[in-house]
Structure 1
Amino acid sequence: MPQYIMTTQYSVPLKARLNLETARITWSELERFFARGRVLHIASSLDLLDVAEALVEDNLAKFTEWTSAGLVKHLEDLTAKSWVADDSKLWAVVIAPWVLVQERL
């Protein structure tokens, strides 16, 4: 059963709410979170919203599967450097204290 976030007039499914909170991000906006170790790199083969939803729902089974496969991991220095160098198009959603980031091709 999907989770819902209550508003004053109606409830919004969690995934729809997360979609509204997803945005493009520049490296300069991301850099301070990276310095704090709070950026999770989401593989392009995954749906960013599925990962965000699993994190909100504390779905340990999915996260274990994704991290074991290297599909979700802390953003590595080499990846960060390449994103700075080529001005990558990045999408992000904040699930405090984490920023989930995915490169869009």
Structure 2
Amino acid sequence: MTTEEKPDPRTLLNRETARIGWSELERHFASGAMVTVSHELDLVEVGARFIEDDKKAVAAWLEGGYLRRTGEEEAQRWSAQDATLWCVVVAPWVLVQEPR
């Protein structure tokens, strides 16, 4: 690989995706940086589209309800359950998805 070639963001994000407890994620919710990804979507693919600035795909997911800012009800439920979520950071966003 030459210095000009960039690795596929999916490969990088796959390595950086982890299950993280709500207590560690709560501050990101409080700052408004958390986005919930539905089970119909692949978390890594969504992160890659954010990195690639694929506005069309992101807009379609938002319109379809597959992607949304994490809401207060979700946050309260996750806090009460001390939930563990799949997470990947695509600065400034923290993308989360409930495990199946």
Normalised to the residue count of structure 1, the TM-score between the two structures is: 0.86
Mapped partners of 2:63, 2:2: distance in 1: 36
Mapped partners of 1:40, 1:7: distance in 2: 34
Bigger RCO (CA 8 Å, 6+ sep): 2
Moved segments of 4+, more than 4 Å: none
| Kept in 1: contact 2:37–2:97 (CA 8 A) | yes
- Residue type of the alignment partner of 1:53: A
**Higher helix share goes to which structure?**
2
Mapped partners of 2:25, 2:69: distance in 1: 13
Aligned to 1:44: 39
Once the two structures are superposed, residues 13-38 of structure 1 have per-residue CA deviations (whole angstroms, 9 ceiling, x without a partner) of 22111100101111111111111100
Aligned to 1:86: 81
User: How many angstroms does 1:69 deviate by?
Assistant: 0.8
Secondary structure at the counterpart of residue 65 of structure 2: coil
Mapped partners of 1:96, 1:11: distance in 2: 18
CA 1:104/1:58 → structure 2, altered by over 3 Å: closer, same or farther?
A: same
Q: Unaligned stretches of 5+ in structure 1?
A: 1-5
Q: CA RMSD in A?
A: 1.9
- Residue type of the alignment partner of 1:33: H
Aligned to 2:58: 63
Once the two structures are superposed, residues 37-77 of structure 1 have per-residue CA deviations (whole angstroms, 9 ceiling, x without a partner) of 00000001110011000000000010010000111110000
Query: Among the aligned pairs, what percent are the same residue?
Result: 43
